[in-house]
Amino acid sequence: MNIDLPARFIIQWKRFEKYQFGALMAAYGYASQDNKYLKKAEGTYKTAIKGMRKDGSLPGDSGRGGSALHYTNLALANLTAIAEFMALSGRNIYDLKSGQKSLHLGVQFLAQSTKNPKLIAGYANTKDWQAGSFTGYSPTNQDRRWASRAASLWGYTYLARFGRSAPGQSLRKASPFLSAGKAGVHQQSGGNARCFSG
């Protein structure tokens, strides 16, 4: 069965896939101690931070209609995984910045937009937003389920390092799953992140 997807959707999927592939390269690079893969993963991370808007939103992911928060969450899960594997390999890219843009700004934007979806609605309302949106959701009716599910597990990795920071506190408040200390398994979080982060 052939499905004719709009070019914008394909571009957005490739961007998401790139973050996920970056996380896989970081994991492999760390496990094998192969610096070539770690450098490629770091390149993916740097590209994401550089491409971020000044408010912390990620252009491709925030343009996915009612799924904009869902995909922003997955992107941050993958970027956090890259940063964590790099940190375990002895290189801190958590604090890498492009101007004022950073992973921390992205986390803050996700948390604030989850509490107030109007912050992402303008980005989510693209010409063909329905191509990247879950059924039943729209730019003004965001799918915010990530915050109550295991999809937020990556937050434990982030909170272990930055739980007292403003973005960390915002993330915890935005996610009932994290604030309740729930456990679970999620592919973009490397399994049960709560177990790994203590």
| pLDDT value for 6 | 46
Q: Looking at 103-180, list the stretches that DSSP marks H as alpha helix, in order from N- to C-terminal side.
A: 103-115, 118-124, 154-162, 166-174, 176-179
d(CA 115, CA 109): 10
Strand segments (E) across the chain: none
For residue 187, give the nearest of 16, 12, 59 by alpha carbon: 16
**Sequence spans of domains, the chain:** 7-197
What pTM does this model have?
Answer: 0.87
Per-residue pLDDT tens digits for 75-87: 999 999 999 999 9
For residue 147, give the nearest of 100, 93, 111 by alpha carbon: 111
CATH code of the region 7-197 = 1.50.10.100
Q: Is 84 helix (H, G, I), strand (E, B) or coil?
A: helix
Cα torsion through 123, 64, 187, 24, rounded to 10: -80
| pLDDT value for 189 | 52
Per-residue pLDDT tens digits for 109-145: 999 999 999 999 999 987 777 666 788 999 999 999 9
pLDDT of residue 13 exceeding 50, the answer is no
Residue 9: which H helix or E strand, with range?
helix 7-32
Per-residue pLDDT tens digits for 135-186: 899 999 999 999 999 999 999 999 999 999 999 999 999 999 999 999 887 6
| pLDDT value for 126 | 79
Written as one letter, the residue type at 175 is S
